[in-house]
Amino acid sequence: MTRLHLVRHGPTHIRGMVGWSDPPADLSDVEAIARLSAHLPPEALVISSDLSRASATADAIQGTRRRLPHRAALREINFGTWEMRPYKEIEAEDPERARAYWDQPGEVRPPEGESWNEVCARIDGAVDALIAEHDGADLVIVAHFGVILSQVQRALGVAPNDAFGYRIDNLSVTEIQRLPEGWNLGRINHLP
C-alpha cells in the first residue's frame, strides 16, 4: 500500500487563473506550516512540482524527511492565454468556452492550454510513476488545486463535474491510498 498525502501549496493571493506562471507562495503563516508538517508522517518522502510556490512550500514542511527531485509533470493546469487573467475578463471575451471549461470539463481547452482530460493524463502518469518507484511508501506531494482534484476524481471514479465540487484550500492535505485492489480516498481538504 502506498499512501499519498497531497498538499496544496501556500497561497499566492493572485486573483486570476494561475497555472504555469510562477508567483511565489505566501508562507508567512508559520503556525499553519508547523501544524501541517507535524501532521505528515515523519518517514514520508517529499516531492513537489517544479513551480516555486509548490517547491518553497515543500521546503517549509520538509523537516527531516527525504526530498525527491521536483517534477514538472506535477504542475498546475496550463491555462494558456487565460493565464493570470481574471475569470470575468476571460468570460467577457469568450463566454461559451470559459463556461464550458468549468461546467463541462473534459475536452474543452483554453487557447494554447490544456483540457481537463489532458491534465488528468499528465498527472496520472506522474503519480503512477512515483508509486511504481516508491511502492509502499508515504509520499507527500506538494502541488496544486488541479493536481489534487485530478487524483480525487481518479480515486472516487467520478465525473469531472463531481470532482470539481470539492474545495481544496491552500496548505490542506488530501489523503489517498493506493491498494493492490484499487484506490481508497481518505480525508479531503484537511486543514491540520
**Span 58-97, pLDDT tens digits:** 999 999 999 999 999 999 999 999 999 999 999 999 999 9
Region 103-113: mean pLDDT is: 93
- Distance from CA of residue 19 to its chain's centroid? 11
Residue 76 exposed, middle or buried by CB count within 10 Å (0-12, 13-18, 19+): buried
Cell 493572485 appears where?
14
Tell me, yes or no, whether 109 lies in a domain.
Answer: no
The 10s digit of each residue's pLDDT in 129-169 is: 999 999 999 999 999 999 999 999 999 999 998 998 999 99
Q: What percent of the chain has pLDDT over 70?
A: 100
Residue 103 lies in a domain: no
**Residue 102, in any domain of the structure:** no
Query: In terms of residue numbers, what domain contains 161?
Result: 2-78+115-185
Residue 173 lies in a domain: yes
Q: Cβ distance 48 to 74 under 8 Å?
A: yes
By C-alpha distance, which of 65, 13, 5, 23 is closest to 170? Answer: 13
Question: What's the predicted TM-score (pTM) here?
Answer: 0.95
Residue 50 maps to which CATH number?
3.40.50.1240
pLDDT range class, residue 117, cuts 50, 70, 90? very high
Residue 97 in domain: no
Q: How far apart are CA 46 and CA 27, in angstroms?
A: 17
DSSP 183: E
Instruction: Give tens-digit pLDDT for 2-18.
Output: 999 999 999 999 988 99
Tell me, yes or no, whether 166 lies in a domain. Answer: yes
Please report, as a single letter, which amino acid is at residue 72: A
Q: What is the dihedral of CA 145, 123, 109, 83, to 10 degrees?
A: 50
Is residue 72 in some structural domain? Answer: yes
In a domain, 191, yes or no: no
Can you tell me whether residue 184 is helix, strand or coil? strand
Helix axes 116-133, 145-156, angle to 10 degrees: 80
**Number of domains into which the chain is organized:** 1
